[in-house]
Amino acid sequence: MEGVDYDETFAPVAPNGVNQNSACPSMSAQFQTLSDGCKDCLLKWALYGLKQAPRAWYDRLIQYLVSHWFTRGKADQTLFIKKEDGELMVAQVYVDDIIFGSTKDELAHGFSKLMQAEFEMSMIGELTHFLGLQIRQQDSSIFLSQSKYAQNLVKKFGLESASSVKTPMSSNVKLIIDLLGKSVDPPLYRSMIGSLLYLTASRPDISYSVGVCARYQANPKKSHMTVLKRIIKYVKTTAEFGVWYSKDTNGVLAGYSDADWASNANDRKSTSGGCFYVGNNLVS
Protein backbone atom coordinates (compact mmCIF):
# COMPACT_ATOMS: atom_id res chain seq x y z
CA MET A 1 0.00 0.00 0.00
CA GLU A 2 1.43 3.37 -1.01
CA GLY A 3 2.42 5.43 2.00
CA VAL A 4 2.49 2.38 4.28
CA ASP A 5 4.72 -0.38 2.93
CA TYR A 6 5.30 0.61 -0.68
CA ASP A 7 9.07 0.77 -0.25
CA GLU A 8 9.21 -2.79 1.10
CA THR A 9 10.09 -5.62 -1.24
CA PHE A 10 8.39 -8.95 -0.57
CA ALA A 11 8.78 -12.45 -1.93
CA PRO A 12 7.89 -15.81 -0.34
CA VAL A 13 11.22 -17.59 0.16
CA ALA A 14 11.76 -20.86 2.02
CA PRO A 15 14.41 -20.87 4.77
CA ASN A 16 17.77 -22.12 3.61
CA GLY A 17 19.36 -25.20 5.08
CA VAL A 18 18.92 -28.89 5.49
CA ASN A 19 15.86 -28.63 7.73
CA GLN A 20 13.64 -27.38 4.92
CA ASN A 21 13.77 -30.85 3.45
CA SER A 22 12.65 -32.62 6.60
CA ALA A 23 9.60 -34.09 4.90
CA CYS A 24 11.65 -35.77 2.19
CA PRO A 25 12.38 -39.11 3.89
CA SER A 26 8.75 -40.20 4.04
CA MET A 27 7.71 -39.21 0.53
CA SER A 28 6.89 -42.15 -1.72
CA ALA A 29 5.74 -40.04 -4.65
CA GLN A 30 8.43 -38.12 -6.51
CA PHE A 31 8.80 -34.41 -5.80
CA GLN A 32 7.79 -32.27 -8.75
CA THR A 33 7.73 -28.60 -9.63
CA LEU A 34 5.06 -26.19 -10.79
CA SER A 35 6.16 -22.88 -12.27
CA ASP A 36 3.91 -19.87 -12.66
CA GLY A 37 3.35 -18.79 -16.24
CA CYS A 38 0.75 -16.03 -15.84
CA LYS A 39 -2.47 -15.35 -13.90
CA ASP A 40 -5.74 -13.37 -14.21
CA CYS A 41 -5.45 -9.82 -15.56
CA LEU A 42 -5.22 -8.08 -12.20
CA LEU A 43 -2.42 -10.28 -10.94
CA LYS A 44 -0.59 -10.32 -14.23
CA TRP A 45 -0.22 -6.55 -14.06
CA ALA A 46 0.81 -6.86 -10.44
CA LEU A 47 3.40 -9.54 -11.11
CA TYR A 48 5.14 -7.86 -13.98
CA GLY A 49 4.58 -4.19 -13.31
CA LEU A 50 4.07 -3.28 -9.69
CA LYS A 51 6.24 -3.35 -6.59
CA GLN A 52 3.58 -5.07 -4.46
CA ALA A 53 3.12 -7.86 -7.00
CA PRO A 54 4.73 -10.75 -5.05
CA ARG A 55 2.65 -9.99 -1.95
CA ALA A 56 -0.54 -9.87 -4.03
CA TRP A 57 0.29 -13.24 -5.58
CA TYR A 58 1.21 -14.87 -2.30
CA ASP A 59 -1.91 -13.61 -0.51
CA ARG A 60 -4.04 -15.04 -3.31
CA LEU A 61 -2.19 -18.36 -3.17
CA ILE A 62 -2.60 -18.63 0.61
CA GLN A 63 -6.34 -18.07 0.37
CA TYR A 64 -6.66 -20.71 -2.34
CA LEU A 65 -4.64 -23.39 -0.54
CA VAL A 66 -6.25 -22.79 2.84
CA SER A 67 -9.69 -23.02 1.22
CA HIS A 68 -8.69 -26.49 0.01
CA TRP A 69 -7.78 -27.71 3.50
CA PHE A 70 -4.04 -27.03 3.47
CA THR A 71 -2.43 -25.90 6.71
CA ARG A 72 0.22 -23.18 6.59
CA GLY A 73 3.42 -23.86 8.49
CA LYS A 74 4.14 -21.84 11.61
CA ALA A 75 7.94 -21.92 11.58
CA ASP A 76 8.08 -21.86 7.77
CA GLN A 77 5.10 -19.96 6.38
CA THR A 78 5.92 -20.89 2.79
CA LEU A 79 5.27 -24.57 3.60
CA PHE A 80 1.74 -25.95 3.19
CA ILE A 81 0.65 -29.35 4.51
CA LYS A 82 -2.45 -31.44 3.96
CA LYS A 83 -3.27 -34.71 5.70
CA GLU A 84 -5.88 -37.01 4.22
CA ASP A 85 -6.73 -40.55 5.34
CA GLY A 86 -3.32 -40.99 6.95
CA GLU A 87 -1.46 -39.73 3.85
CA LEU A 88 0.63 -36.55 3.68
CA MET A 89 0.78 -33.87 1.00
CA VAL A 90 3.35 -31.04 1.20
CA ALA A 91 3.87 -27.98 -1.00
CA GLN A 92 6.81 -25.58 -0.67
CA VAL A 93 6.50 -22.14 -2.27
CA TYR A 94 9.54 -20.23 -3.52
CA VAL A 95 8.53 -16.90 -5.10
CA ASP A 96 6.32 -18.15 -7.99
CA ASP A 97 7.56 -21.75 -8.08
CA ILE A 98 6.04 -24.59 -6.08
CA ILE A 99 7.74 -27.85 -5.11
CA PHE A 100 5.31 -30.54 -4.02
CA GLY A 101 5.25 -34.20 -3.09
CA SER A 102 3.12 -36.73 -1.30
CA THR A 103 3.15 -40.13 0.32
CA LYS A 104 0.49 -41.10 -2.23
CA ASP A 105 0.77 -40.58 -5.99
CA GLU A 106 -2.91 -39.73 -6.39
CA LEU A 107 -2.63 -36.80 -3.99
CA ALA A 108 0.32 -35.36 -5.92
CA HIS A 109 -1.49 -35.66 -9.25
CA GLY A 110 -4.60 -34.13 -7.68
CA PHE A 111 -2.61 -31.15 -6.41
CA SER A 112 -1.21 -30.52 -9.89
CA LYS A 113 -4.72 -30.49 -11.38
CA LEU A 114 -5.98 -28.31 -8.52
CA MET A 115 -3.36 -25.62 -9.15
CA GLN A 116 -3.65 -25.68 -12.93
CA ALA A 117 -7.43 -25.35 -12.68
CA GLU A 118 -7.06 -22.04 -10.88
CA PHE A 119 -3.80 -20.58 -12.23
CA GLU A 120 -1.96 -20.72 -15.53
CA MET A 121 0.98 -22.88 -14.49
CA SER A 122 3.32 -25.18 -16.33
CA MET A 123 4.28 -28.59 -14.97
CA ILE A 124 8.06 -28.87 -15.09
CA GLY A 125 8.10 -32.48 -13.89
CA GLU A 126 10.28 -34.44 -11.50
CA LEU A 127 12.44 -32.25 -9.29
CA THR A 128 16.12 -32.66 -10.21
CA HIS A 129 17.58 -29.17 -9.64
CA PHE A 130 16.52 -26.29 -7.41
CA LEU A 131 18.46 -23.17 -6.35
CA GLY A 132 21.83 -24.83 -6.88
CA LEU A 133 20.75 -28.08 -5.24
CA GLN A 134 20.89 -31.30 -7.21
CA ILE A 135 18.20 -33.80 -6.23
CA ARG A 136 18.48 -37.47 -7.08
CA GLN A 137 15.30 -39.38 -6.33
CA GLN A 138 15.19 -43.14 -6.03
CA ASP A 139 12.58 -45.61 -4.81
CA SER A 140 14.33 -46.01 -1.47
CA SER A 141 15.94 -42.62 -0.90
CA ILE A 142 16.55 -39.01 -1.90
CA PHE A 143 20.06 -37.56 -2.23
CA LEU A 144 20.72 -33.80 -2.09
CA SER A 145 24.03 -32.33 -3.20
CA GLN A 146 25.63 -29.19 -4.61
CA SER A 147 28.47 -30.82 -6.51
CA LYS A 148 28.32 -28.46 -9.50
CA TYR A 149 28.17 -25.44 -7.23
CA ALA A 150 31.09 -26.82 -5.19
CA GLN A 151 33.22 -27.34 -8.29
CA ASN A 152 32.46 -23.83 -9.54
CA LEU A 153 33.27 -22.42 -6.09
CA VAL A 154 36.73 -24.03 -6.18
CA LYS A 155 37.38 -22.61 -9.66
CA LYS A 156 36.06 -19.19 -8.69
CA PHE A 157 38.77 -18.81 -6.07
CA GLY A 158 41.54 -20.37 -8.16
CA LEU A 159 42.11 -23.51 -6.09
CA GLU A 160 41.27 -26.21 -8.64
CA SER A 161 44.93 -27.28 -8.83
CA ALA A 162 45.57 -27.02 -5.07
CA SER A 163 46.60 -30.06 -3.06
CA SER A 164 43.83 -32.14 -1.51
CA VAL A 165 43.07 -32.32 2.21
CA LYS A 166 41.01 -34.85 4.16
CA THR A 167 39.47 -32.53 6.77
CA PRO A 168 38.07 -28.98 6.55
CA MET A 169 40.14 -27.76 9.50
CA SER A 170 43.12 -29.06 11.42
CA SER A 171 42.39 -29.99 15.02
CA ASN A 172 45.64 -28.28 16.04
CA VAL A 173 44.67 -24.85 14.67
CA LYS A 174 43.15 -22.27 17.03
CA LEU A 175 42.20 -19.06 15.24
CA ILE A 176 42.64 -15.77 17.09
CA ILE A 177 42.03 -12.09 16.26
CA ASP A 178 45.70 -11.85 15.22
CA LEU A 179 46.12 -8.05 15.36
CA LEU A 180 49.77 -8.27 14.30
CA GLY A 181 49.15 -10.55 11.33
CA LYS A 182 49.32 -9.55 7.66
CA SER A 183 46.01 -8.19 6.39
CA VAL A 184 44.23 -9.72 3.40
CA ASP A 185 41.56 -8.34 1.07
CA PRO A 186 38.32 -8.12 3.17
CA PRO A 187 35.89 -8.23 0.18
CA LEU A 188 37.58 -11.38 -1.13
CA TYR A 189 37.50 -13.00 2.29
CA ARG A 190 33.80 -12.17 2.73
CA SER A 191 33.04 -13.47 -0.75
CA MET A 192 34.66 -16.78 0.11
CA ILE A 193 32.69 -16.97 3.38
CA GLY A 194 29.41 -16.18 1.63
CA SER A 195 30.00 -18.80 -1.06
CA LEU A 196 30.80 -21.45 1.53
CA LEU A 197 27.81 -20.55 3.70
CA TYR A 198 25.48 -21.31 0.80
CA LEU A 199 27.18 -24.67 0.35
CA THR A 200 26.33 -25.64 3.93
CA ALA A 201 22.73 -26.20 2.76
CA SER A 202 23.81 -29.72 1.81
CA ARG A 203 27.19 -29.89 3.55
CA PRO A 204 26.79 -29.87 7.35
CA ASP A 205 30.34 -31.26 7.58
CA ILE A 206 31.78 -27.79 6.85
CA SER A 207 29.31 -25.73 8.91
CA TYR A 208 31.46 -25.44 12.01
CA SER A 209 34.69 -24.61 10.16
CA VAL A 210 33.01 -21.95 8.02
CA GLY A 211 31.36 -20.48 11.12
CA VAL A 212 34.70 -20.14 12.88
CA CYS A 213 36.29 -18.36 9.91
CA ALA A 214 33.25 -16.10 9.57
CA ARG A 215 34.04 -14.53 12.95
CA TYR A 216 37.00 -12.67 11.43
CA GLN A 217 35.35 -10.99 8.41
CA ALA A 218 35.76 -7.48 9.85
CA ASN A 219 39.57 -7.63 9.83
CA PRO A 220 40.77 -10.84 8.17
CA LYS A 221 44.46 -11.77 8.36
CA LYS A 222 46.66 -14.17 6.44
CA SER A 223 46.27 -16.79 9.18
CA HIS A 224 42.49 -16.70 8.73
CA MET A 225 42.76 -16.88 4.95
CA THR A 226 45.01 -19.94 5.19
CA VAL A 227 42.36 -21.80 7.18
CA LEU A 228 39.59 -20.60 4.86
CA LYS A 229 41.46 -21.84 1.80
CA ARG A 230 41.90 -25.20 3.48
CA ILE A 231 38.11 -25.51 3.68
CA ILE A 232 37.85 -24.87 -0.06
CA LYS A 233 40.57 -27.47 -0.70
CA TYR A 234 38.49 -29.91 1.33
CA VAL A 235 35.44 -29.01 -0.76
CA LYS A 236 37.48 -29.77 -3.87
CA THR A 237 38.25 -33.24 -2.51
CA THR A 238 34.65 -33.91 -1.46
CA ALA A 239 32.61 -32.08 -4.11
CA GLU A 240 30.26 -35.05 -4.53
CA PHE A 241 29.29 -35.16 -0.84
CA GLY A 242 25.72 -34.37 0.15
CA VAL A 243 22.83 -35.33 2.42
CA TRP A 244 21.07 -38.68 1.99
CA TYR A 245 17.50 -39.29 3.15
CA SER A 246 16.37 -42.89 3.49
CA LYS A 247 12.75 -43.92 3.09
CA ASP A 248 13.34 -47.04 5.16
CA THR A 249 13.39 -45.36 8.55
CA ASN A 250 11.13 -44.44 11.45
CA GLY A 251 9.56 -41.33 12.89
CA VAL A 252 11.64 -41.16 16.07
CA LEU A 253 13.10 -37.70 16.70
CA ALA A 254 16.57 -37.77 18.24
CA GLY A 255 18.87 -34.88 19.12
CA TYR A 256 22.59 -34.85 19.91
CA SER A 257 24.63 -32.00 21.33
CA ASP A 258 28.13 -31.32 22.53
CA ALA A 259 30.21 -28.41 23.79
CA ASP A 260 33.90 -27.56 23.67
CA TRP A 261 34.60 -25.93 27.02
CA ALA A 262 36.33 -22.52 26.81
CA SER A 263 37.61 -23.26 23.31
CA ASN A 264 37.63 -19.68 22.01
CA ALA A 265 41.20 -18.46 22.17
CA ASN A 266 40.12 -14.81 22.26
CA ASP A 267 37.59 -14.71 25.10
CA ARG A 268 37.56 -18.28 26.48
CA LYS A 269 33.90 -18.73 25.59
CA SER A 270 32.61 -22.24 24.97
CA THR A 271 31.41 -23.52 21.62
CA SER A 272 28.33 -25.71 21.49
CA GLY A 273 26.55 -27.48 18.67
CA GLY A 274 23.87 -30.01 17.96
CA CYS A 275 22.08 -32.04 15.33
CA PHE A 276 18.65 -33.60 15.04
CA TYR A 277 17.55 -36.76 13.26
CA VAL A 278 14.17 -38.14 12.26
CA GLY A 279 15.00 -41.84 12.28
CA ASN A 280 18.19 -42.18 10.24
CA ASN A 281 17.85 -38.81 8.54
CA LEU A 282 19.57 -35.57 9.50
CA VAL A 283 17.05 -32.73 9.42
CA SER A 284 18.78 -29.90 11.30
What are the structural domains of the chain? 18-127 (3.30.310), 147-241 (no CATH), 249-284 (no CATH)
Q: Is 232 helix (H, G, I), strand (E, B) or coil?
A: helix
Write down the pLDDT at residue 284: 86
SS3 152: helix
| Strand order, beta sheet including 32-38 | 71-72, 79-84, 87-94, 97-102, 32-38, 120-126
pLDDT for residue 28 is more than 50: no
Q: Give the pLDDT confidence of 178-237 residue by residue, as tens digits.
A: 999 999 999 999 999 999 999 999 999 999 999 999 999 999 999 999 999 999 999 999
Band of residue 42 on the pLDDT scale cut at 50, 70, 90: very low
> Which residues have C-beta within 8 Å of that of residue 284, sequence separation ≥ 6?
17, 18, 19, 22, 275, 276
Contact partners, residue 113, CB within 8 Å, separation at least 6: none
Q: pLDDT tens digits, residue range 204-215? A: 999 999 999 999
Residues 6+ apart with CB under 8 A from 63: none
Q: What percent of the chain has pLDDT over 90?
A: 61
DSSP 96-144: TEEEEEESSHHHHHHHHHHHHHHSEEEEEEE--EETTEEEEE-SSEEEE
pLDDT at 246 over 50: yes
CA distances from 41 to 48, 118, 175, 195, 268 (A): 11, 13, 57, 39, 61
Separation between Cα atoms, residue 284 and residue 281, nearest integer Å: 9
pLDDT value for 16: 59
At position 164, the amino acid (one-letter code) is: S
Asked if pLDDT for residue 43 goes beyond 50, the answer is no
Distance CA 180, CA 178 (A): 6
- 273 forms beta bridges with 258
Distances (CA, A) of 257 to 1, 68, 171, 241, 275: 46, 40, 19, 23, 7
